[in-house]
Amino acid sequence: MKRSAFAGAMILALSGVSSLAQTSQDLKAAGGTTGDVLVYGMGYSGQRFSPLTQINKENVSRLVPVWAYSLADLQGGEGFPLVKDGVIYVTTHNATVAVDALSGKQIWRVIHEYPPETLRVVCCGIVNRGAAIYEGMIIRALMDDRLVALDSATGKEIWTAKSPDPVTHANGYAMTGAPLIVDGVVIIGVAGAEYSHRGLVEGYDAKTGKHLWRLYTIPAEGEPGSETWEGDSHQTGGGSSWVTGTYDAELDLVYWGIGNPAPWNPRARKGDNLFTNSIFAIRPKTGERVWYYQATPQDPFDYDAVQTPVIATINVDGNPRKIVMQANRSGFLYVLDAKDGRLIAANAYGKVNWADGVDRETGRPLTTDVFKGALEGRTVTVWPSVSGVTNWQHMSFSPQTGMLYINTIHVGMTYQAPEPPKLAPGKPSGAGTVKRTTVTEDPNVRGFLKAVDPLTGKSKWETPYRSPNFSSTMVTASNLVFTGVMTGEFQALDADTGKILWSFQTPSGIVGQPITWERNGKQYVTVMSGIGGVYAQRAGDPNLENLPTGVSLWTFALFDK
């Protein structure tokens, strides 16, 4: 089954012929194949861009559902659907299913059990964000820090692996993210910075489940970076890694976002708190950290930098340059050199008042009195709130328009850090450690979908929403942006103007990740509906009270006359 990436893509594109396995080569070509969706983010770059154009601005009004499938779950539907040879694979927190892509008929369904205590340390939604596919296996993480590999044809378990000590729910660890598989290594992160864990990213052998490496995000006593923590605060320093990263084959680097320090309350961890709120470039075979960039040192506001770093080649000062882009929760949009992490641009793409900008030389935020006041325990009004200007929802990038399509949050907060708590692994270190109230400019405009220039942070257009969209976006070569709304509408917008061209009401709110694919010459769009996740559960947004719940999977295509 070894083929050149080019040949692989051609065979799939021209004939839809099924390959028996998803080799590492197939995964590297995944961004260009339109029949299958093999990698989280629609390809290793995480651009969520599709070259498909059958559905376009003129005919999108004829988009209709082809089928819907019930996941029989009342928690959030955040999963990324994978498509392989006419089969769609999706996950919830406790189920993995295979569904016929054309008919919506279930092929197999596996229920996963985990101890109920696990959910005590799941801060941000009882969810799973998706699986990875490799050599006939569907590989996913489970809440209780396990990975499981299922036979893609039958759902039968092939291997299961428990993350080694100290990774247990009792120590504050949970797994909610989708794995990324690179050259036979399953890479996965953890949640738990709200429960005093010590964050990490780790690699497993995709064939056997054997644990290969672990990269802690917080230094141990005496290691470089441990001097950036007050006392022994690094031992419970947080730094989670709960959102999936991206991969560049040419540089052989995986880019992964690292989360907030624990506790949220910053008063007992003076210093930069390395390597929280950073972007890592990691060697996939060994787990070596090749470079890092810290966005927000000594963060009081839960501005974790877990947002997926998106890889692209763009023109910088007239020269093409390979970069990674991150729409950081802090409100700054970072553009870094993919090779060495050097700062190219960092501009606000939403309302920010804790910093005036980012120093181009040092890469550090130019913090304001709001930030200083927060560290000193004063009550301050901060933009953005702990939800961030984005949260985990993925942006998309169109190489055609050069724009990022970002679902943003437009909410601030009052904030005060009282006496800091004493932490121990597994003990809550999040929301309960600070005092907050929600602040809005207009309670009925809490979010925007924006088309943003990566180098300036400026919007070409902004489409307002009553509540922020926690759905990811997806953009096609016909300049359509797809996204979902908290109140259930699945929408297509004009990538050039932001105008909503099409909207379909699904049964619950959408916090899922739209994808598009083709089969037998027809283009399809697939997304999960099912309200849940961090904002729906936590934010206390009165616009979202009492929404209908329930996860379902939807596939749309143009209506044939």
Partner 1 sequence: MHHLITFACGAGICLASASALLAQDNSSPEAQAKIEAGESVYNNNCENCHGDQLVNTGQTFDLRRLTAGDRARFDNSVRNGKNQMPPWKDVLSNEEIDQVWSYIRSKAYQK
Binding site for ligand HEC (CB under 6 A): 119, 122, 126
Report the C-alpha gap between 262 and 269 in whole angstroms. 9
432 binds, among partner 1, ligand HEC, none (CB under 5 to 8 A by kind): partner 1
- How many CB atoms sit inside 10 A of residue 243's CB? 26
Question: Cα 442 to chain center, whole Å?
Answer: 27
User: Which of residues 492, 536, 553, 558 is near partner 1 by CB under 8 A?
Assistant: 536
Footprint of partner 1 on 164-223 (CB under 8 A): 194
Indicate whether 259 belongs to the interface with partner 1 (CB under 8 A).
no
Closest alpha carbon to 158 in 203, 107, 109, 207: 207
Q: Which of these segments, 182-190, 334-342, 457-465, 528-536, binds partner 1 (CB under 8 A)?
A: 528-536
Whether 302 is a known active-site residue: answer: yes
- What are 389's two structure tokens? 């200007």
Strand-pair partners of 321: 314
- Shortest distance (Å) from residue 389 CB to partner 1: 18
The three-point CA angle 169-550-395 to 5° equals: 75
- How many CB atoms sit inside 10 A of residue 232's CB? 11
Cβ-based nearer residue to ligand HEC, 73 or 135: 73
Indicate whether 384 belongs to the interface with partner 1 (CB under 8 A).
no
Indicate whether 361 belongs to the interface with partner 1 (CB under 8 A).
no
- Shortest distance (Å) from residue 549 CB to ligand HEC: 10
User: Which of residues 52, 122, 149, 374 is near partner 1 by CB under 8 A?
Assistant: 122
Q: Which of these segments, 25-33, 44-52, 120-128, 470-478, binds partner 1 (CB under 8 A)?
A: 120-128
Indicate whether 542 belongs to the interface with partner 1 (CB under 8 A).
yes
- Shortest distance (Å) from residue 549 CB to partner 1: 4
Indicate whether 268 belongs to the interface with partner 1 (CB under 8 A).
no
What burial class does residue 276 get, using C-beta atoms within 10 Å of its C-beta: 0-12 exposed, 13-18 middle, 19+ buried? buried
Cβ-based nearer residue to ligand HEC, 293 or 535: 535
Cβ-based nearer residue to partner 1, 60 or 485: 485
Among 36, 73, 248, 302, the active-site one is 302
Indicate whether 539 belongs to the interface with partner 1 (CB under 8 A).
yes
8-state DSSP, 130: B
Report the C-alpha gap between 425 and 256 in whole angstroms. 23
Q: Which of these segments, 74-82, 180-188, 271-279, 298-306, binds partner 1 (CB under 8 A)?
A: 74-82
Query: The sheet that has 132-134: what strands, in order across it?
Result: 132-134, 137-142, 146-151, 157-162
Report the C-alpha gap between 387 and 120 in whole angstroms. 20
- What are 100's two structure tokens? 């016929």
> Between β-strands 49-50 and 474-476, what pairing exists: parallel, antiparallel or unpaired?
parallel
> Between β-strands 355-358 and 343-348, what pairing exists: parallel, antiparallel or unpaired?
unpaired
549 binds, among partner 1, ligand HEC, none (CB under 5 to 8 A by kind): partner 1
Catalytic site positions: 302
